[in-house]
A and B are shown apart, each in its own frame.
Chain A
Amino acid sequence: MRVSNVTQQIKNFALTEARMAKVGIAGIDRFNESPEGMHPTDFLPGCKSVIAFCVRLPDGAVSAAHRTFEDGNYNIHGVYGAYGYVGAPNYNLLWANYKISRFVEKVTGCAAMPNTAGPTHGAKMLSMRHCAYAAGLGEFGWSSLVLTPEFGPRNRFGAVLTTAELIPDPMYSGPRLCEPERCHICEKMCPTGAIPPYVEGEGRIVCSGGKEVSYSQINWAKCRLMCHGTHAEYNESGGDIIPIEMDDPLDEELGGINKYYAGHPRQNFHQHNPTWKCGNCLTYCPVGDWRERFRETGLSGVDIDKYIDDNDK
């Protein structure tokens, strides 16, 4: 069978049988700049193609986070965790990875390696965002999330590596999606200041497919304060897991998070250490028709435009 037919068959399968929202293919040459240990061939020797795909997040699931932060309805934040983050999206990617890898092996006769997309991964893994970027699904936002033109950052990505040589898709070349020189929404909406203000030349540089992009150097310790719900109103401990005055912690000062959740594994079934208690950089990013989908429908009352310089909207 011709390579073009096989490539199309695989993409069709990803979009129909595996129910993914988007799919793209990167040739292995797009990973020439990958750091040691993070190259696809470190995971699958002989890898020639990376098939990246995404599941979109339902607007309804995203809006559950708005109910928490805008209405003070903390009860509902689990809906975002369940259907907008670690629950259904990750498990859908898990099954999609498995299905697609089986299909690729069947139609190509080559090895295909699914990647974990949340559940059961216990190690530093290949970056799904970088795979998605290399496969042309979108571009990096300042928030470090990959944005797609259709859904902004409200997608989650998976990738299957294969030794089959498939026809690559072009890198994303549409209108620029993120303009951090003038849009500061992700930085301003971050409750712990984990996303720094944009300063030209201070981002993390990523090279892929002949393109060079940069995104913010996130302060992950600050990010964890909110993502793990360390403050009293976001967890079930009855108090602050990390003292609230500790607003710029070192990584080694965050041991209390693991200690608390290890002692209470049942409360956040089935991810015992929750990482879904924030998400503002994802839920308020204007890319992907945010205004039409969330502001104009009344799902969010936040005026994000005040965080955009010279905004004519």
Chain B
Amino acid sequence: MSATETIKNYILSDCRMDSVGIAPASALAGEPEGHRPEDILPGAKSVIVFTRRIPDGVIQAAFRSREDGNADAHSIYAAYGSDLTPNINVFFMQFNIAQFIEMTFGYTAIPVPSGPMQNVTPVNVPLPVFIGPKKNAYILHPERAAYAAGLGDLAWNNMLVTEKNGPRQVVGLVVTSMELDRDWPYGGPRLCDPETCGVCGRICPTHAIPLAGGEADVVSVAGNTVKMAHINSNACAVASLGFRGEFAVKGALPDLISSDDPSDGELAEAYAKKPISHHSLDHYPKHYCGKCMLYCPLGGWKERFFDTGLSKFDAEGLAR
């Protein structure tokens, strides 16, 4: 078994990830300065990317709260589909994978957090990662790395989408000085077509995601050009972090921002007034929305959620 296969097997079996791919560090050389693999690890040769799907049962817990008014069910989505388990699980697996590579092969490997403990200036992504009013960004963009490693396509809503799970997975990264057999960027048919779908843009409660034809970012990843929506991160924050009472699922949220498109100053002011949640490990929970992920029709959504009765929402009708 080759070293690449050994590492991939470790990630899929010991670390129980659902998919793994490898991009050469050069495939992400077009990322902004400070956010390229070589900036993170001098001598970087490979970027190992892996995903863990979010269980359908967890996703449907969010439908119970949103569609049935069962507020108690929302905490299941928050714990297993949003802030807690997915991020923490990937966080520890990244540590284990780096240890495995260094101890087994003697190369250097750096785990790259995509949730806790980032302190990154937002220059490489319009999406808010929401670590405080600074709206921190990614050290290395996980979705673009996943695309470069062949794990899936980049969707209009800026998420990694796969044929199997749509956008309903989390992504982890390890950069290493070890040269591994590369995978090729996703080369299948474009999974997301905002011209004929547009569910994410239509369902976004604060219009953070423009409809097809709206403002877009064109990024170059692994030699390919991908067009994605330019997300209004401040608008996304209003819903995701529950800055208005209408986004509360359980308990009350104060109305701190009336606009759907607040300025940076208004957002920072609202943050300062926002009560700290003591019910969550994440004191400023960001699980209040997630609709662009929850209702994306990719990944067999209709068969898994609508046809099974788990959701009453006619996403395809909305698309039409």
Contacts and interface: CB of A to CB of B under 8 A. Distances in A.
A59 B102 contact: yes
B92 A58 contact: no
The majority secondary structure among interface residues of chain A is: helix
A88 B40 contact: no
A291 interface: no
Nearest to A81: B117
A76 B120 CA distance: 7
A82 B91 CA distance: 9
Given A60-B108, A92-B95, A83 B42 contact: no
A106 to B, nearest CB: 24
Given A58-B98, A298-B43, A77 B110 contact: no
Interface in A42-75: 56, 58-61, 63-64, 67, 71, 73-75
A20 to B, nearest CB: 11
Contacts of A81: 117, 119
A87 B116 contact: yes
Interface string B83-103: 000000001101110110011
Contacts of A269: 116-117, 131, 282-283
B269 interface: no
A91 B113 CA distance: 15
Chain B interface category by residue count:
35 or more
B131 to A, nearest CB: 6
A181 B117 CA distance: 38
B110 A64 contact: yes
B132 A266 contact: yes
Interface in A234-279: 236, 264-270
B111 interface: yes
Contacts of B109: 58-60
B284 A266 contact: yes
Interface string B166-185: 00000000111100000000
Q: For B42, B91, B96, which residue has the most chain A Cβ atoms within 10 angstroms?
A: B42
Given A67-B39, A88-B92, A266-B284, A61 B119 contact: no
A267 B134 contact: yes
A218 interface: no
A81 B131 CA distance: 15
B132 A79 contact: no
Interface string A272-313: 000000000000000000000100011100000000000000
Contacts of B1: none
A141 interface: no
Nearest to B113: A82
Q: For A19, A71, A91, A269, which residue has the most chain B Cβ atoms within 10 angstroms?
A: A269
B108 A59 contact: yes
B108 A297 contact: yes
A267 B175 CA distance: 25
A236 B95 contact: no
B94 to A, nearest CB: 7
Contact of B95 (A58, A64, A264, A299): A58
Contacts of A92: 92, 95
A153 interface: no
A114 interface: no
Nearest to B93: A88
B218 interface: no
A61 B113 contact: no
Contacts of B39: 67, 71, 73, 76
A61 to B, nearest CB: 6
B70 interface: no
Nearest to A293: B108
Nearest to B99: A58
Given A61-B111, A71-B39, A83-B111, A78 B134 contact: no
B91 A87 contact: yes
Contacts of A73: 34, 39-40
Given A79-B113, A297-B177, A266 B131 contact: yes
Contacts of B276: 265-266
Contacts of A236: 119, 132, 134
A73 to B, nearest CB: 6
B281 A270 contact: yes
Given A58-B102, A269-B131, A77 B119 contact: yes
B179 to A, nearest CB: 14
Given A60-B109, A61-B110, A78 B117 contact: yes
Given A60-B176, A83-B113, A297 B43 contact: yes
12 contacts: A58-B99, A58-B102, A58-B110, A60-B109, A60-B174, A61-B111, A78-B139, A79-B111, A83-B94, A88-B94, A268-B117, A298-B42
Interface of A: 19, 56, 58-61, 63-64, 67, 71, 73-79, 81-83, 87-89, 91-92, 236, 264-270, 293, 297-299
Given A58-B102, A67-B40, A82-B116, 4 more contacts: A63-B108, A76-B40, A78-B113, A83-B110
The 7 closest A-B pairs by CB, nearest first: A60-B110, A82-B117, A88-B95, A267-B132, A58-B98, A78-B119, A75-B120
